[in-house]
Amino acid sequence: MTADINELRRRMDGALKSLHQEFGGLRTGRANASLLEHIQVDAYGSMVPLNQVSNISVPEPRLLAVQVWDKAVVKSVEKAINVAGLGVNAVADGQLVRVPIPELSQERRVELTKIAGKYAEGGKVAIRNIRRDGMEALKKMEKDGDISKDEHKKREGDIQKLTDEFIKKIDEALAVKDKEIMGH
């Protein structure tokens, strides 16, 4: 536990980066390699990230191409993509797995904005937990006589400002993602 504002900022940045990765996994109707990044493939007797057995490219706006390096893993890659719940149908063609990105229905778009909202709420919870850690560290520092009551109040204000800044960044990221999903 620390009340160091730079350390708290670093941790909040990490929470925001994590949210951006989660957003990257949400399909928006356009092909994006990050859609497949979280997929785990059963290869050589263990689960490995897709990018450790293949190269993902975007040859067309609505097509992902997964170039699998080892023929023995192609079927596992195809299956892993198809069961990942992305609403896509991967098809193997030799060592290339094609993943056409279908148009999103309005219903599916609304569903995806709800998922994005849940991800954003999770990000806010992470930010608030980091804030709580900082606040608790300040209380302990004042109790131990390391800082004065005034210093405690000042630093508490700094931590709150930092928290507000990151909550705002999450709200802004969600607004951008929602627009992307809804096709506006």
Check pLDDT > 70 for residue 31. Answer: yes
Q: Among residues 118, 49, 116, 113, which one has the least CA distance to residue 81?
A: 49
Q: Are residues 77 and 141 in the same domain?
A: no
Same domain, 142 and 53: no
Local confidence band at 98 (pLDDT 50, 70, 90 cut-offs): very high
pLDDT of residue 23: 85
Number of structural domains found in the chain = 2
pLDDT at residue number 133: 95
Q: Is the pLDDT of residue 184 over 70?
A: no
Q: Are residues 131 and 153 in the same domain?
A: yes
Which of 81, 100, 119 represents a domain boundary (last residue)?
A: 100
Full residue range of the structural domain in which residue 45 is found: 33-100
Task: State the average pLDDT over residues 59-69.
Answer: 91
Domain limit, last residue, from 100, 128, 150: 100
Tokens of 99: 């993943």
Q: Could you report the per-residue pLDDT of 109-131, keeping only the tens digit for each?
A: 888 899 899 999 999 999 999 99
Q: Say what the pTM is.
A: 0.70
Q: How confident is the model at residue 93 (pLDDT cuts 50, 70, 90)?
A: very high
CATH of the domain at 156: 1.10.132.20
Contact between 11 and 130 (Cβ < 8 Å): yes
Rounded mean pLDDT of the chain?
A: 90
Cβ(146)–Cβ(56) under 8 Å?
Answer: no
Collapsed DSSP state (helix, strand, coil) of residue 141: helix
